[in-house]
Amino acid sequence: MIHDLSDDVLEYAEQHSTEEWEVLRSLRRSTWQHVLTPQMLSDSIQGRFLANISRMMTPLSILELGTYTGYSTLCLAAGLQPGGSIDTIEPNDELNRIQDEFWKASELASLIRRHNGEALEVLPKLSGPYDLVWIDADKARTEQYVEEALKRVRVGGWILVDNVLWWGKVLDKRKAEDPIAAMLESLTAKWARDSRMRTTLLPLRDGILMIEKLP
C-alpha cells in the first residue's frame, strides 16, 4: 500500500468527489501504459489536494522538485493567479515528451517553466520568492531540499513534502532496517520543534508534511 486508505475507501472518496479533470485522467492512463514505476504518480485524491491548496492560495509563483510525468505540475498550476508561473525541476529528460503532450492539451503549458537537471544544481539559478513549494524528489536529499526551499519561499508561504510516512516504515521497528525511514522520522521530529516553521504531517496517501514558513 502506498497510501493509508484501503482500496474501498479510496474508491468511495473518488466517487464522492468532483470528477477528475479529463486531461489528468488521460495523463494517468498514459503514464501507466508507457512509463516505468508508474506507482510514483500522485493518485487522484492527492492531485485534488494539491490543486485545492493552490486554488486556495492563488499563488503567483510555485516551485516543484520532481516533475515526473507532469501530473502534479498541472494540479498545482491550476490555482496560479493571472501572470503566475511554476518552475518545475526534473533530472530525467526522457519524460519531456509525455509532459509536453499533456501540458499542451491542458492549455496551461505557457505557465510552466521546466528545468532538466539535478535539483541541487538547478536551484542556485532560481531565487524566488515562491508562495508554494512541492517536494517529491529523491528522499535521501530531503533535508537539503527543504533547506533550499526555505531560502526561496516567502514568509507565510508553504512547503509540502511528499512520502514522509515511507510506506509506514517510519512507524515501527522497520525504520531500524531502512535508513530512509529512520532519516524521515528524525527530520519530521526535528522540524516539529524548529522555530522557523510550523508543521502538520497529514496521513494522506504516503504522508504529506505541510511546512509554513514563519517570520
> 54-110 pLDDT, tens per residue?
999 999 999 999 999 999 999 999 999 999 999 999 999 999 999 999 999 999 999
Q: What's the gap between Cα 82 and its chain centre? A: 22
> 148-171 pLDDT, tens per residue?
999 999 999 999 999 999 988 998
Which three cell numbers mark 55?
Answer: 486554488
Is the CB of residue 24 less than 8 Å from the CB of residue 75? yes
> 99-108 pLDDT, tens per residue?
999 999 999 9
Average pLDDT over the chain, rounded to whole? 94
Is the CB of residue 153 less than 8 Å from the CB of residue 133? yes
Residue 2: inside a domain, yes or no? no
Q: What is the pLDDT of residue 53?
A: 98
Residue 205: inside a domain, yes or no? yes
Q: What is the pLDDT of residue 42?
A: 85
User: How much is the average pLDDT of 188-211?
Assistant: 96
Q: What is the pLDDT of residue 11?
A: 87
Q: What is the pLDDT of residue 173?
A: 77
Distance CA 63, CA 73 (A): 9
Give the Å distances, CA to CA, from 180 to 3, 57, 97, 144, 186. 17, 31, 31, 14, 10
What's the domain range around 126? 7-213
Distance CA 42, CA 76 (A): 12
Could you give the 3-state DSSP secondary structure of residue 49? helix
Q: DSSP strand E in the chain: where?
A: 61-65, 85-90, 112-116, 130-135, 153-162, 197-202, 208-213
Residue 101: inside a domain, yes or no? yes
Residue 208: inside a domain, yes or no? yes
Residue 117: inside a domain, yes or no? yes
Q: What is the pLDDT of residue 79?
A: 98
Total number of domains in the chain: 1
Question: Domain of 174: which CATH number?
Answer: 3.40.50.150
Per-residue pLDDT band at 112 (split at 50, 70, 90): very high
Write phi, then psi, for 77 (nearest 5 degrees): -65, -25
Q: CA-based diameter of the chain, in Å? A: 48
- Is residue 3's pLDDT more than 50? no
In percent, the amount of the chain with pLDDT more than 70 equals 97
Task: Name, in order, each residue with C-beta under 8 angstroms of 43's C-beta and a sequence gap of 6 or more.
Answer: 3, 10, 205
Per-residue pLDDT band at 174 (split at 50, 70, 90): confident
Residue 1: inside a domain, yes or no? no
Q: pTM score > 0.85 for this model?
A: yes
- β-pairing, 85-90 with 153-162? unpaired
Residue 112: inside a domain, yes or no? yes
